[in-house]
């Protein structure tokens, strides 16, 4: 299961809203492959997020809860959004995406995040985001 760091956040600069106040990073083959597998809805509660780098598409196979998905380009601009991606589904592949941010369901609606928004990632004191 992912390790979420309360010292790392995802912040929507455009909307001035936090998407995640405890962020985990999946940036190796293994952590990207594992993603949120094994997590429960209570593990992935509001305020948490998983940033998958690099990534152009995700799935929710073997997951038991829906998620929101934000696709980001290299400049961390939102290029696509999937809300309420239910378990056992494939999200579309977006070739313009460089990374994907997985969030608890309803985060996109609650923050008003839309395509074109700029997302900023704040890292912990050591300059790293906790790895998944």
Could you tell me the residue ranges of all domains in the chain?
9-131
Tell me the per-residue pLDDT of 19-43, one tens digit each, with 9 for 90 and over. 999 999 999 999 898 889 888 999 8
From the options 2.40.50.100, 2.60.120.1140, 3.20.20.150, 3.90.1150.10, give the CATH code of 9-131.
2.60.120.1140
Name the pTM for this structure.
0.91
What's the mean per-residue pLDDT of the chain?
91
Question: Quick one: tokens of 93?
Answer: 């592949």
Strands (E) located in 13-132: 17-20, 22-26, 48-52, 67-72, 78-85, 99-104, 119-122, 130-131
Tell me the per-residue pLDDT of 68-123, one tens digit each, with 9 for 90 and over. 999 999 999 999 999 999 999 999 999 999 999 999 999 999 999 999 999 999 87
Residues paired with 24 in a beta bridge: 50, 130
Tell me the per-residue pLDDT of 58-67, one tens digit each, with 9 for 90 and over. 999 999 999 9
Does 130 score more than 70 pLDDT?
no
Angle, vertex CA 22, rays to CA 1 and CA 56, nearest 5: 65
């Amino acid at each position: 299961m992912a390790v979420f760091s309360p010292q790392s956040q995802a912040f929507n600069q455009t909307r001035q809203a936090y998407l995640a106040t405890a962020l985990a990073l999946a940036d190796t083959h293994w952590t990207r492959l594992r993603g949120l597998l094994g997590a429960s809805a209570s593990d992935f509660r509001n305020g948490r997020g998983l940033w998958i780098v690099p990534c152009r598409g995700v799935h929710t196979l073997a997951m038991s809860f829906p998620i929101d998905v934000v696709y980001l380009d290299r400049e961390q601009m939102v290029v696509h959004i999937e809300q309420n991606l239910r378990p056992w589904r494939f999200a579309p592949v977006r070739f313009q995406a460089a990374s994907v941010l997985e969030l608890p369901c309803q985060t996109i609606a609650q923050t008003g995040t839309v395509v074109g928004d700029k997302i900023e990632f704040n890292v912990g004191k050591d300059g790293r985001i906790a790895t998944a």
